[in-house]
Structure 1
Amino acid sequence: MSWNQFEYSTNNGKPLTLYEFVHNEQKYYRYTNADRNVEFNNAIWFSEAISNTGLSVGSGNNLEITLPSASKVVHIFRGVPPTKPVVIKMYQLHENDNEFRVIWIGKIQEVKRESIEKARLITASVASSFERNGLRLTYGRSCPYALYDHNCQIRQSNYKFANEIIALDGANITVNPSNVMSGYFSGGYMEYYIDDIQELRGLKSHIGNSIGVLGGTQGLQKGMKINLYPGCDKTIKTCNEKFNNHLNYGGQPHIPGVSPFTIVKLF
């Protein structure tokens, strides 16, 4: 019997929904709303009290997913959210049928704790992202490029400082001496790994051996190996003196202070 025959049958249809959460294209969490674990596509989908609001007209193809707060997916979003979005794939199939349909693909935007035992995932579909306006490059005195991107052309590997956290207080981390001046890492970021998954955290301040971390130090621990990368304040002076990269500077530091569209009365 084909999928359509199961789907439209009033007696034989036994619909199951499978939820696949993918963290950083490395770690998979698979759940089903069935009353027992399901083996599908060479993987085990664990039975869970999981449901969704369904798709409706005017919702922008977005939906909300409710599941227990003890779920490993919810744990990922405790404290600072993961660096890369967690992708969701939903499959629809019928019991005793090998044919299936991919009914929805999206990403988790936010996790809300509904109660002690229940959490709600606020998601956005991939289709909704097609309706967003694209970015437009504008002219200004400061550089519009992101540090280390293809426009900036600085190789971040040349500026990596391998280090170790020797202390932390909830807002700042203390590292070993790096022989760099205070402020060198301000606006930069740190790189670390948890369960072999790369995570990034922005740095807001750098004074001596103390570095302020955006979002606090939750998830970090003493003795953790990290990589530090310096930041940039988007000025031509820093681009030249700190990175020797002024030829790739994307700003226009010599823009006149008077707009050509401003009416100036000479007499």
Structure 2
Amino acid sequence: MSWNQFEYSTNNGKPLTLYEFIRNEQKYYRYTNADRNIDFNGVTWISEAISNTGLSIGTGNSLEITLPSTSDVVRLFRGVPPTKPVVIKMYQLHENDNEFRVIWVGKIQEVKRESIEKAKLITASIASSFERSGLRLTYGRSCPYALYDHNCRIWQDNYKVANIEIIALDGANITVNLPNIASGYFSGGYMEFYIDGIKELRGLKAHVNNVIGILGGTQGLHKGMHINLYPGCDKTIKTCNEKFNNHLNYGGQPHIPGISPFTIVKLF
């Protein structure tokens, strides 16, 4: 029988929902609401107490998924969330039928701990990103570009300080074994490290001597871990020129007059 025949059948339909969570396109977490594990598409989908709010016309671009708080997916969001959004794909099929339908593709936006046993994932569909207003470039003295992006044009690997060892941490800051680098060099930059083979990024706050503040705290880091550090930028033309020699790509207008031409100035 075809998928439609199962779906609209009075007695033969045995619908199953498969949930696939994808982290950084490297690690997959697969669950099903069936009463036992399901082998489908060459992989095993783990039976779990998982459910969703359902899809219907007028529900918009959001979907809520409830699952046990002990789930590996929920654990990802305890403390600092993953650097890249976790993608969710939902499939609908019927038992003993190889035909399936993709019914939802989205990203996890938030995780709420509803009780000790349950957590709720708040997801948004991929289509919702097409409805957002685009960002507009505005004029200002400071540079509006993100450091190392396609507008900035700085190649970050040229400034990477690699294989730096963490020698101490206190929850908010790390102490590292730095070479002879002046204080402030990494302020506003970011660090790169790996957890379970997956690359994670975390922003840096103030850098003083060999102590660096970490945005979001030091969860996931440990003494003896080796990390890569990238310097930051304060978005001024002076730093762009002296630190990165990149003033030709500077996105700000540092010579804007101090008085707006639209301001009424009374001369008499």
- Is the TM value for this pair above 0.5? yes
Query: RMSD value over aligned CA atoms?
Result: 0.9
CA distance in 2, matches of 1:58, 1:137: 34
Q: Name segments (4+ residues, structure 1) moved above 3 Å.
A: 56-59
Residues 27-69 of structure 1: CA deviation (Å, up to 9, x unaligned):
0000000000011111100000000011244432211000011
In the alignment, which residue of structure 2 is the partner of 1:164?
165
1:4 aligns with 2:4: yes
1:126 aligns with 2:145: no
2:207 partner letter: H
In the alignment, which residue of structure 2 is the partner of 1:13?
13
In the alignment, which residue of structure 1 is the partner of 2:233?
232
TM-score (norm 2): 0.98
In the alignment, which residue of structure 1 is the partner of 2:242?
241
Residues 12-32 of structure 1: CA deviation (Å, up to 9, x unaligned):
000000000000000000000
CA distance in 2, matches of 1:177, 1:52: 49
For the 8 Å contact 1:55–1:61, the answer to whether it is kept is no
1:194 aligns with 2:161: no
Number of aligned residue pairs = 267
1:255 partner letter: I
In the alignment, which residue of structure 2 is the partner of 1:45?
45
Identity of aligned residues (%): 85
CA distance in 2, matches of 1:211, 1:253: 30
Residues 203-256 of structure 1: CA deviation (Å, up to 9, x unaligned):
011111100000110110011110000000000011111111111100000011
Shift of 1:195: 1.2
| SS, match of residue 63 in structure 1 | strand
Task: Flag structure 1 segments of 5+ consecutive residues without an equivalent.
Answer: none
1:204 aligns with 2:205: yes
Shift of 1:129: 1.2
2:20 partner letter: E
Task: Flag structure 2 segments of 5+ consecutive residues without an equivalent.
Answer: none
TM-score (norm 1): 0.98
In the alignment, which residue of structure 2 is the partner of 1:150?
150
In the alignment, which residue of structure 1 is the partner of 2:221?
220
CA distance in 1, matches of 2:259, 2:58: 46
